[in-house]
Amino acid sequence: MTTCNPNFGNDIRLPTGTAERLAKFAKLTGTTPPEAILDADGAPTDDILDFARANGMSLDWLYFGDAMPLVMRAHNAAREGRV
């Protein structure tokens, strides 16, 4: 079962759409994101960095909706025969 902290959407420090993208990623991948994604200073928590690394989630996409890193990763994998 996947869960996503509904309070993420209430954190005004998060760029618009971040909570929704994280919830969508969790649902699509069957994963559960960490409870906290920003620390007290507004920086990404170690937990969200570990989650992103372990699950192949782009932080550019999570925070800003920028899909270019995902496109380039797929492109490079195809060029290198890793697909």
Reported as a single tens digit per residue, the pLDDT across 47-76 is 999 999 999 898 888 988 877 877 787 788
* Tokens 């759409």, located at residue: 17
Within a domain: residue 1? no
Within a domain: residue 44? yes
Confidence class of residue 30 from pLDDT cuts 50, 70 and 90?
A: very high
Number of domains in the chain: 1
pLDDT, mean of residues 9-13? 61
Within a domain: residue 39? yes
Taking CB atoms within 8 Å and a gap of at least 24, the contacts of 68-76 are none
What is residue 4's predicted lDDT score, i.e. its pLDDT? 47
Confidence class of residue 25 from pLDDT cuts 50, 70 and 90?
A: very high
What is residue 2's predicted lDDT score, i.e. its pLDDT? 41
Instruction: Provide the residue range defining the domain that includes 66.
Output: 6-79
